[in-house]
Structure 1
Amino acid sequence: MASMRAPLLSLVLLFAPLVTADVTIYGLFGQTTADAATLRSGSATPVASTTSFVTVPGPPQYTELAAYNPIYMEPPPIPSPAPPLQFSIGVPSSAQLMNALSIPQHGTFFGFSIEMSVANQLIGKNGTTLFPQFLNLMNTVAPRAGAVHIRVGGNTQETAFMVNSLPEGAMIEKDKEDASNPTSTPVLAFTPELLYMMANVSSLINARWYLGIPFNDTSDFRFQIAEQGEAILGDNLLGFQAANEPDLYAAHGHRPSTYGPFDFFGEYALLTQAYQNDSAIPVKNNLIAPSVSGTWTPEEVWNTGFVDAYTQYLGSLSVERYPTDNCAVVFPNPDNPPHDPLQELPQYLTHQAGINIVQAYLNSTMLAQTWNKPFLMFETNTASCGGFPGISDTFTSALWGLDYAMQMANSNFTGALFHFGGQNVSYNPFTAVPTNQSAFHQWTVGPIFYSSLFVAEALGQTNTSQVKDLFPNDGNDQTPAYAIYENSNLARMALINYMTDPTGAHDYVATISVGGSNFSEANSVPSSVQVKYLLAPSTSEKDNITWAGQTLGPRFGADGTWKGDESVQTVQCDQTQNTCQITVPAPGAALVFFSDAAQQLADGPASTQTFATSIVTQTVNTVTVDPSVLATSNGQGGKNALALGGTSQGGANGASSLRVVGAGAAALGCMLGGAAVFARAFW
């Protein structure tokens, strides 16, 4: 395998990635019992039928890696009484007649948060070895959304530090012996290779990045990641998070027990002063804060004068929030007894779940508009400390995730990042294959990843989409719906059915009318609408999940490309009655397109580039990439671009010293399978 410092360098896409068992939460879940040899052999077959569930008195037991948990739980019964299965939804065709619409939203709303310590498990081994599964999966989102936003950070950013090199050419090294907080987060050393890896991803797909600045030592903020990040990522850098969950610093032993919002305010002053004085950081207005997790309310931070004091440095405001936690299983605490997933499951299968989280931030999203700042849910997922088996790794999370994301968009958040950990968590949007199975297995796509595709298409790419929670069916929390207006016109509608009934007896039919006398408009239902469905046999399903008839594959079966043919349903409408009847299976979600243009804008290009390996280490599962893919691309603007810009409008150029040099530089873009290299002087 080529070294970054070899005389000739080529970027290679590794089909069978080399990963380690190191994970974000550094312990073993005792909650999740299958025979270890069976799992490692790959012969553990998940239940494929909604009629074959494990029913046990208490949490199911399984002691291997949580990401591959094969145990299913019985879905909740149909509510008694069941919600009405025939109901009407009336909406105006014009946004001007719809009250309380959201601010305009971007298709990139649903992004991803990757714990820094596992970036080499998910993105690539280094700057020259990218995982094609990652590229393919991200490239299913980017064309739909216009781009994909990814954060690399989290708890491990707080003690991370950059070094020029690590033994054996490693990109990341974890020191667990010096780990100090309750989640045993290791001290992380990383090289600039991490940033070159991210830049090379952006040269292949439309990916943009958030990074984290360490905040554990206020006498030395270690801005190297910001200095190098600006220079290497250029306009693909969205901003820097400084301080991750500062409201937990005292509880985790990183600050005195008396540490509060005003202490944080004072430390941020030290940060901004040092940031302003660092001439190697050309852009000064792209910090992201305060990223509180719920121990402090955002208002406690706002009341210190935080935004007024630091507004010139703040590119976005942020919070982090999980609906609950599963921490007691790994880190026993008498004040926080373990949660039983069987008892938690019904709480995720309700429209109220997302509302409960968002309500705490409605005042802040309003204030953010007055301050002219984006407001981000910077880290979230089903439950902190890795999620719940039987919830986070099932279709439950897909329905919950899309409803929660749409609720945040409705409530004037401007983006949400769903978090990844390692192989020992349940909530990953996708997970790399264990090393000892990489020759014959592929990756595992988590159900919540399908939420990102639904939301990307629901919001589209015009950056004008406004969202409205319709509370149909007398507000029944099993049958929510949203209207999406684009360029001030009704474009799409999202409908969800949280119930599980394989007989079809609890599929519901929503009769939609558009315009009409109730809204002082002419009847506006089109002659037909197109519908895409997100479906699974049960809310407890883990593998058999489809979006518009296609699937990304079961556990150990995903390379990031679609399997099957796309199926978009055409539903005829009654223009005389001004009605269109949409059936939503139990369980499932429907995305209704009210015009061909609305669907075309959401779909993106008819076809997208897919990626495969240009390394052959096995004769199984290896193919090559078309050499023309990036023959003229070299990170930022092609091989002729010798310098990179900053991250904000009007920002200074911080990359003038980065140039393509060396005898082999001109040919790097097409040497192996069309994979490009973000070149630098290392020969």
Structure 2
Amino acid sequence: MHSLCLVLNLLPLALPALASAAQPQHVLHIPPTPPPHASRPLSPALASLSVDPAFWAEFWGNATHPNLFSMRLLRNIAQRTTAPPIIRPGGVTQDSSRFLASAGAPERTTDPATGAIYRTTYGPDFYRSFGNFPEGTRVTVPLNFGNDSVEVARAQAAGAVRWVEGWAERVWAFELGNEAGNYKATQRNLSTWGPAAYVAEWKNWTSTINAVLPPPLRTRWWAGSDGITPAAVTVALQTEDLLARGIDDQTPPIVREFSQHMYAYSACKPASAALATVPNIHNHTDITAFVGLLAPKVAAARGNGSDLVVGEFNSVSCSGKENVTDIFGQALWVIDTTLYAASLNVSRVHLHQGATLVSQSNSQINVPGANGTPGFSTYNLWYPVDSPLRGRRRANPSYVSQLFLAETVGKSGTSRLVELSPPEGVSPDLFAAYAVYDGGAPVRIAVINWQTFNSTMGEAGVRATSLGLDISGLVQKKKATLKRLTAPGSDEKNADYVRWAVLVLYL
């Protein structure tokens, strides 16, 4: 075992050097009080989840038979904070979904020739299943914008009010459409479709749908729900552009949060998949450059009195890439990406889960499962049921990232975050560190050593990746707990060999 990622719980500050005197050490400078650019208080639901509606039943079960495996994994996360993750049932299939009062849990209709999902139908049991989540869990309501039928979307919203028990507390927001900037010609007239057309239509639809919602729900809308960078054939629906076009100029304003999606790499086509490599993804500088595109959107949302969330994200779109997103290194990517987003005042991120959608690309590298079974995405935190393609249901190495993040945020509700500069002599590409402040002092430090190794590397190679940190300037006469997130290598695929536990207690 070798440490690749760790959290230091400082109570309030007490750690000798993290390495022996014989090992070269680098001094990590940590401001003793929160600097002016420290984040706003971290949401206990900072690390939240997104699940494509077509695969809702596999992940969560139905109203009477919840997926107890998934619920147990979710409770493990929820127990570490004061609020469970917020669940977003969203993705491509929400824009071909419909509510029928006579239907039950979500069911897929697929093209037998291609395996593409072209309809997801659900009834009251979908909304009833929201009640199976851990106490206090809030859920967004997905509405179909892509079919260009406001009646379909209105029926979905009315169904949620009718069938979600305790809707006033449980329904966090309504989301109208998924990545409308990526719509096809069969969904909108692409010669005129852009931010102005989107804003006009969004305002018209939300006004129509609000007429069937009780007053407490009429100001709980997500706006945008599009990528932070456009593909070559799409338009970009960006928070600052939508605000400039008056998307939230109603009285009272109705946008609770603006949502942007982000995937740094893609498996939708062989050429883009070739760039989705471990060296490219395991790079802190590249992570900060890409996530940094959110900064102006955060500023625009906050200037509007709203928040900016990442409603959907993962490392490699179109269901991930084997040997890249199904390994322990994916956990490190999720941690670094989430914490850097939080340092920019992104209020929450929803890590996407699902299975292969053949309709995304006719040349994507991932395929569906046999006989219509889900080809679960390799970037999933867990595989919720047994499947021909992925084998037994199980947690993946990346699942532990959610436990790490929950403990980094903590339970106070007042923690603030700062990204730390790398120590002198340490590559900024291969190092990330964050300090968490509470009560005016640092209480936790999260450190990622991106100079990783794989499981086949010899002992000398492993030692070469080690990094010694000296924070002895913070030593006081109290205690600190050191926890390490460890695995035999960054390429480890078996979650049984991933450990997140206390290593040393310094007194």
The residue aligned with 1:405 is 338
Kindly tell me: are residues 311 and 116 of structure 1, through their superposed partners in 2, closer, same or farther at Cα, counting changes over 3 Å?
farther
CA distance in 2 between counterparts of 1:326 and 1:449 reads 21
How many angstroms does 1:262 deviate by? 0.3
The residue aligned with 1:534 is 485
Equivalent AA in structure 1 for residue 124 of structure 2: P
Q: Equivalent residue of 1:108, what SS? A: coil
Q: Is the 8 A contact 1:532 1:569 kept in 2?
A: yes
Residues 484-563 of structure 1: matches in 2 within 5 Å?
Answer: 484-501=436-453, 503=459, 504-505=462-463, 506-513=465-472, 525-544=476-495, 549=499
Pick aligned residue for 1:143 from 79, 89, 103: 79
The percentage of aligned residue pairs carrying the same residue is 22
How many angstroms does 1:223 deviate by? 2.2
Show CA shifts across 1:131-172 (max 9, x none).
110111000000112222111121111121111224xxx522
Residues 290-301 of structure 1: matches in 2 within 5 Å?
Answer: 290-293=224-227, 294-295=229-230, 296=236, 297-301=238-242
Show CA shifts across 1:440-460 (max 9, x none).
x85221222211111111011
The residue aligned with 1:312 is 253
CA distance in 2 between counterparts of 1:510 and 1:252 reads 56
Pick aligned residue for 2:411 from 461, 467, 486: 461
Pick aligned residue for 2:243 from 299, 302, 306: 302
* Structure 1 alignment gaps of length 5 or more: 1-47, 50-83, 330-336, 515-522, 551-565, 573-683
Kindly tell me: are residues 567 and 284 of structure 1, through their superposed partners in 2, closer, same or farther at Cα, counting changes over 3 Å?
same
CA distance in 1 between counterparts of 2:72 and 2:210 reads 39
CA distance in 2 between counterparts of 1:103 and 1:385 reads 33
CA distance in 1 between counterparts of 2:187 and 2:486 reads 45
Kindly tell me: are residues 545 and 359 of structure 1, through their superposed partners in 2, closer, same or farther at Cα, counting changes over 3 Å?
farther
How many angstroms does 1:177 deviate by? 4.0
CA RMSD of aligned residues (A): 2.8
Q: Is the 8 A contact 1:178 1:186 kept in 2?
A: no
**Structure (1/2) with the larger strand percentage:** 2
The residue aligned with 2:194 is 260
How many angstroms does 1:483 deviate by? 0.5
Q: TM-score, normalised by structure 1?
A: 0.61
Kindly tell me: are residues 211 and 455 of structure 1, through their superposed partners in 2, closer, same or farther at Cα, counting changes over 3 Å?
same
CA distance in 2 between counterparts of 1:310 and 1:402 reads 39
CA distance in 1 between counterparts of 2:57 and 2:394 reads 16
The residue aligned with 1:390 is 323
CA distance in 2 between counterparts of 1:478 and 1:129 reads 45
Kindly tell me: are residues 349 and 183 of structure 1, through their superposed partners in 2, closer, same or farther at Cα, counting changes over 3 Å?
farther
The structure with the larger Rg is 1
The residue aligned with 2:218 is 284
Does residue 427 of structure 1 match 2:379?
yes
The residue aligned with 2:128 is 196
Kindly tell me: are residues 361 and 316 of structure 1, through their superposed partners in 2, closer, same or farther at Cα, counting changes over 3 Å?
same
Task: Count residues with an aligned counterpart.
Answer: 447
Q: Is the 8 A contact 1:374 1:414 kept in 2?
A: yes
CA distance in 1 between counterparts of 2:99 and 2:467 reads 55
Show CA shifts across 1:414-449 (max 9, x none).
0000011124221111112325799xx852212222
The residue aligned with 1:323 is 264
Equivalent AA in structure 2 for residue 469 of structure 1: E
Q: Is the 8 A contact 1:106 1:462 kept in 2?
A: no
The residue aligned with 1:214 is 144
Pick aligned residue for 1:481 from 429, 433, 451: 433
Pick aligned residue for 1:229 from 160, 172, 186: 160
Equivalent AA in structure 1 for residue 74 of structure 2: M
The residue aligned with 2:366 is none
The residue aligned with 1:33 is none
Show CA shifts across 1:51-106 (max 9, x none).
xxxxxxxxxxxxxxxxxxxxxxxxxxxxxxxxx962111223322xx231111112
Q: Is the 8 A contact 1:115 1:153 kept in 2?
A: yes
